[in-house]
Structure 1
């Protein structure tokens, strides 16, 4: 198994664990507590983790901090996906669809909001 396949497998296992916590006891599971707080709070947490990751990277002080914050960000993003009913496979397929396309062309192809 390649390193890329291992990384995807880790994310997919984590996603499965997150799904198993949906509807669980918020007193015993951080993930269940996130679900109980609702989508807006989950999305807020994703935003917080994204900012913390960006700040850690901008500070350029500690590579390990960037790694840790990135892991937090990915975890909370997976929780948000689970709450929205989005699967990792859907995201992988979208990334694959975009592969090899210019970012400029990709943005032009999207409908304006």
Structure 2
């Protein structure tokens, strides 16, 4: 599944019955719960990266990406929005982009 397909599926599930879809259930619990789930999955991916279990890291990374997109959808941020920001940043070096960010 491509990221575009995943994002489209998540968007479609925003209006689904929470009893019929895990994504709809997460979204129905609000942005805070979606953020919590994203954080949990990100930590699990970090643990697997530290442990060095490649297959487990792949699975946790997939979970993390899914939950990132769900969290963003809960705040009406689309994959296209994220891609646009990445494209904007592509024109400059990572060090220059980081230095240009507001402090704090």
TM-score (normalised: structure 1):
0.83
For residues 42-66 of structure 1, what are the alpha-carbon distances to aligned partners after superposition, in whole Å with 9 as ceiling and x for unaligned? Answer: 0011111111001000001x21100
For residues 1-56 of structure 1, what are the alpha-carbon distances to aligned partners after superposition, in whole Å with 9 as ceiling and x for unaligned? Answer: xxxxxx7xx11111111111113222221001101111001001111111100100
Counterpart in the other structure of 2:31: 39
Structure 2: gaps of 5 or more residues: none
Equivalent-residue separation in structure 1 for 2:4 and 2:72 (angstroms): 12
Counterpart in the other structure of 1:27: 19
Q: What are the within-5 Å matches in structure 2 for residues 80-95 of structure 1?
A: 80-95=71-86
The 3-state SS of whatever aligns with 1:51 is helix
Q: What are the within-5 Å matches in structure 2 for residues 1-113 of structure 1?
A: 10-60=2-52, 62-99=53-90, 101-113=92-104
Q: CA deviation at 1:104?
A: 2.9
Structure 1: gaps of 5 or more residues: 1-6
Q: Give the count of matched residue pairs.
A: 104
The 3-state SS of whatever aligns with 1:85 is coil
Equivalent-residue separation in structure 1 for 2:86 and 2:14 (angstroms): 26
CA contact under 8 A between 1:23 and 1:35: conserved in structure 2? no
